[in-house]
Amino acid sequence: MVSNTSVSCARNGNGKKIWLFDIDIAIDLFSVKIEAKQALAA
Protein backbone atom coordinates (compact mmCIF):
# COMPACT_ATOMS: atom_id res chain seq x y z
CA MET A 1 0.00 0.00 0.00
CA VAL A 2 2.81 2.39 0.89
CA SER A 3 4.75 1.61 -2.29
CA ASN A 4 1.62 2.18 -4.40
CA THR A 5 1.15 5.59 -2.79
CA SER A 6 4.80 6.46 -3.47
CA VAL A 7 4.34 5.58 -7.14
CA SER A 8 1.20 7.71 -7.30
CA CYS A 9 3.05 10.61 -5.66
CA ALA A 10 5.87 10.41 -8.21
CA ARG A 11 3.39 10.20 -11.07
CA ASN A 12 1.13 13.01 -9.88
CA GLY A 13 3.70 15.44 -8.55
CA ASN A 14 0.84 16.74 -6.38
CA GLY A 15 2.21 16.22 -2.87
CA LYS A 16 -0.73 17.78 -1.04
CA LYS A 17 -3.33 15.55 -2.68
CA ILE A 18 -1.30 12.39 -1.97
CA TRP A 19 -0.70 13.53 1.61
CA LEU A 20 -4.45 13.83 2.19
CA PHE A 21 -4.90 10.45 0.49
CA ASP A 22 -2.36 8.94 2.91
CA ILE A 23 -4.30 10.38 5.87
CA ASP A 24 -7.52 8.85 4.52
CA ILE A 25 -5.82 5.44 4.29
CA ALA A 26 -4.46 5.79 7.83
CA ILE A 27 -7.92 6.69 9.17
CA ASP A 28 -9.47 3.74 7.31
CA LEU A 29 -6.89 1.32 8.74
CA PHE A 30 -7.36 2.77 12.22
CA SER A 31 -11.14 2.38 11.95
CA VAL A 32 -10.76 -1.23 10.81
CA LYS A 33 -8.53 -1.97 13.82
CA ILE A 34 -11.09 -0.47 16.21
CA GLU A 35 -13.93 -2.43 14.59
CA ALA A 36 -11.89 -5.64 14.81
CA LYS A 37 -11.22 -5.06 18.53
CA GLN A 38 -14.92 -4.39 19.18
CA ALA A 39 -15.88 -7.54 17.25
CA LEU A 40 -13.45 -9.63 19.32
CA ALA A 41 -14.69 -8.09 22.57
CA ALA A 42 -18.36 -8.63 21.70
Task: Please check the confidence at residue 1 and state whether its pLDDT lies above 50.
Answer: no
Task: Please check the confidence at residue 35 and state whether its pLDDT lies above 80.
Answer: yes
Q: What would the pLDDT profile of 4-34 be if each residue is shown by its tens digit?
A: 555 554 555 556 666 667 788 888 889 989 8
Distance between CA atoms of 13 and 5, rounded to whole angstroms?
Answer: 12
Domain ranges of the chain: 2-41
Of 36 and 4, the one with more pLDDT:
36
- What pTM was computed for the model? 0.42
- The pLDDT value given to residue 42: 77
Distance between CA atoms of 13 and 35, rounded to whole angstroms?
Answer: 34
